[in-house]
Amino acid sequence: MKVLKLSGQGLPQSWISLEQAVIHYAADEVRWEIGAPVAVFRGGHNAITGRQSVITVSSIIGTRGVPGINPFQLRPGLTNAKLFARDRNICAYCGGHFGEHDLTREHVVPFAQQGRDTWMNVVTACRPCNHRKSSRTPEQAGMALLYAPYVPSLWEDFILRNRRILADQMEFLSRGLPRTSRLHPGLS
């Protein structure tokens, strides 16, 4: 399980471990918290009061300090796991739904024709469709795309990066999604 760390402005910064979150709490860097408590850590006893320190970690925390990333300059990294999640494990050519092992990263304009390895030029395809299309464009192969590729937004990228998102984290990130996003909860 990961904690969603936000900047002071409320923009997603990173997924961090519980241990990293505790360090932010201990350094008094947590400006606000939303979401449910997800863990309680007990520390040492205060020498004067005898009270034990307790840190309760929330699923979403806002920290002070300079944001590590500028969302407007973000180019989310391309991985197969995120690509398949963007496309909901659906082959762009036959529309079939497949497990990760039967899927491939398909270049719409193939490398052989100067196609590039970018979000806008890749879709999810099953192995037979990828093989059949080969080094041709969809037009040349007579295989129309069932959906269009797109570059994930900052909020989409955070959803794609974490496969075990808690409900309140998903709800928070969903608010930043474009209306047209395929990642809205409840869609399938």
Residues forming the site for Zn ion (CB under 5 A): 91, 93-94, 126, 129
The identity of residue 98, as a single letter, is F
The C-alpha atoms of residue 60 and residue 172 are separated, in whole angstroms, by 9
Q: Is 1 or 141 the residue whose CB approaches Zn ion more closely? A: 141
The C-alpha atoms of residue 120 and residue 37 are separated, in whole angstroms, by 38
Please list, in sequence order, all residues whose beta carbon lies within 8 angstroms of the beta carbon of residue 49, skipping any fewer than 6 positions away. none
**DSSP H or E stretch at residue 103:** strand 103-107
Least CB distance to Zn ion at residue 95 (A): 7
Q: Is 67 or 96 the residue whose CB approaches Zn ion more closely? A: 96
Q: Is 83 or 129 the residue whose CB approaches Zn ion more closely? A: 129
Least CB distance to Zn ion at residue 79 (A): 20
The C-alpha atoms of residue 155 and residue 52 are separated, in whole angstroms, by 38
Q: Is 60 or 90 the residue whose CB approaches Zn ion more closely? A: 90
Using DSSP's 3-state secondary structure scheme, residue 165 falls into coil
Q: Is 23 or 145 the residue whose CB approaches Zn ion more closely? A: 145
Least CB distance to Zn ion at residue 44 (A): 58
Q: Which residues pair with 97 in a beta bridge?
A: 90
Least CB distance to Zn ion at residue 98 (A): 8
Q: Is 6 or 126 the residue whose CB approaches Zn ion more closely? A: 126
* DSSP code at position 118: S
The C-alpha atoms of residue 34 and residue 66 are separated, in whole angstroms, by 20
Least CB distance to Zn ion at residue 91 (A): 3
Handedness of CA 18, 184, 93, 145 (dihedral sign): negative
Least CB distance to Zn ion at residue 144 (A): 12
